[in-house]
Structure 1
Amino acid sequence: MATCCCGALSMATIGEPIKISACHCRSCQKRTGSAFSVAVFFDRENARPRGPSEMFTRLGDSGLPVDFHFCPSCASTLFWYPKFRPAWVGVAIGCFDDHAFVPTQAVYEHERLEWAQIQLRSN
């Protein structure tokens, strides 16, 4: 189970993730207010959101939109739907109660902050 800071918005997931990806792009840095973002991607059929959410849409590098859902009360971004992978949902790793997930890939490393290092799990 993943939840926002205040608990009003949650995402229940079933099964194993498709992949776990750390992103160093500037857009993710700005969205999170941190050095990177980590997404745990699930098949959309295996994820059930509950509670109210607001949405922010931005274009990804694919040219297709990504719909980010955040809690209207605490503003935590909990999940997003990338249109270039319509069957997937990304869930913010820090929102999970279970901290067993470890990134298996890093993307946009050319935009990585020099000091930000991530240890990836090999497949």
Structure 2
Amino acid sequence: MPDHLASCSCGKPTVRVRGEPDRVPICHCLACQKRSGSAFGAQARFATQTVTTEGQSKQYLRIGDEGSSARFHFCPECGSTVFCFLNDVPDVVAVPVGAFADPSFPPPSVSGYEERKHRWAGPSDGIEHFDRAARRAVLVAPNGSFKPKPLRGSTYFRRQVQWTASRDG
């Protein structure tokens, strides 16, 4: 399993992860646009036991568009976000894809809040698309059986499971 190293602009706080991300979402919600300073946020999600952080960071608690919260850790020197904890998904650490500064990093697997997507941001082929956050998913087990699982806000999906999602009415 390859290691990936992420850091801020000045390189003081760092994040080392073992293996590939479990999920790489892009989000077009207004909170992610403001946080990232871009038209969308892109993050890689890893199981907490595969992540090691070093260096000092400051923390900011952000409440998302639908009420979920995340604790963003950023460099106190340069201000770059280096990692975050999603309070609804305690076993996951999210790292901004740009912090890896690696053009060969795995591509996004899902795109959320597309109703707030900038018109000039073209479609991403080969990934799941949602007008809002995924609210409910149907997990397909390896034997082909279906198991509905309710979800809250932005959620974590393990790569080993195929899934489809639908919006609750």
TM-score by length of structure 1 reads: 0.92
Partner of 2:69 in structure 1? 65
Structure 1: gaps of 5 or more residues: none
* Residue 111 of structure 1 pairs with residue 116 of structure 2: yes
Q: Deviation string for 1:49-92 (max 9, x for gaps)?
A: 11010011012355342000000000001111001110001100
Q: Which moved more, 1:106-115 or 1:92-101?
A: 92-101
Largest Rg, 1 or 2 = 2
* Residue 5 of structure 1 pairs with residue 21 of structure 2: no
Structure 2: gaps of 5 or more residues: 128-158, 160-169
Q: What displacement does 1:38 show?
A: 0.3
* Residue 55 of structure 1 pairs with residue 59 of structure 2: yes
Change (3 A) 1:6 1:36: same
Task: Supply the AA of the counterpart residue of 2:117.
Answer: R
Does structure 2 retain, via aligned residues, the 8 Å contact 1:78–1:95? yes
Q: What displacement does 1:2 show?
A: 0.4
The 2-side partners of 1:47 and 1:31 are apart by 22
Number of residue equivalences: 123
* Residue 77 of structure 1 pairs with residue 100 of structure 2: no
Change (3 A) 1:2 1:121: farther
The CA RMSD measured in Å over matched residues stands at: 1.7
Task: Supply the AA of the counterpart residue of 1:70.
Answer: F
Q: What displacement does 1:46 show?
A: 0.5
TM-score by length of structure 2 reads: 0.68
